[in-house]
A = this chain, B = another copy of it.
Amino acid sequence: MVSNRPRTTAPHDVVLIGRSTQQRALVLGALIVAEGFVSAQALHKQLVGTGSSVGLSTVYRTLTALAEAGRADIVRDTNGERLFRHRPGPDHRHYLLCTECGLSLPVESGPVEKWAERVARSSGFANVRHVVELSGICPDCERQPGQAT
């Protein structure tokens, strides 16, 4: 239940899901600052590294909740790891992800959307959803191989 949000102590920043705690703010903040797809683990490492000690479970819980609330997108990298990205708008987008450095480029996705819809309609399937992931090696990484994070 996320509907009623009794607002007494308005924090400083963005409102998140459920109770407003410092940890959630930290995770969301880090996710926003990341500006691209990050794994929960990476986010956690970064937070801990910055001195903000947040439990790994909390990072996972928060990210999952954000995704469920539609405030984050999730993709899976080639190893099956989940990468999260803060979603500014309510629209559904697709990204081109660099498998070397994690750089993510939003791409023009109109055609796929249309295609997906058409397929959905002609198939008779209900509730059709799609996952589209493009990945490759960005120009920079292509130029200087082998210097990932």
Contact = CB atoms under 8 A, between A and B. Distances in A.
Contacts of A82: 80
A92 to B, nearest CB: 14
Contacts of A98: 125
Q: Chain A, interface size: which category?
A: 20 to 34
Contact of A134 (B76, B128, B135): B128
Query: How many copies altogether?
Result: 2
State the majority secondary structure of interface residues on A.
strand
Interface stretch (A22-30, A31-39, A115-123): A115-123
Nearest to A76: B76
A98 B129 CA distance: 11
A14 interface: no
A93 B134 CA distance: 15
A55 to B, nearest CB: 22
Contacts of A105: 123, 125
A136 B131 CA distance: 12
Given A123-B136, A123-B138, 11 more contacts: A80-B80, A96-B123, A96-B128, A107-B123, A116-B134, A120-B134, A124-B139, A125-B136, A125-B139, A126-B136, A127-B136
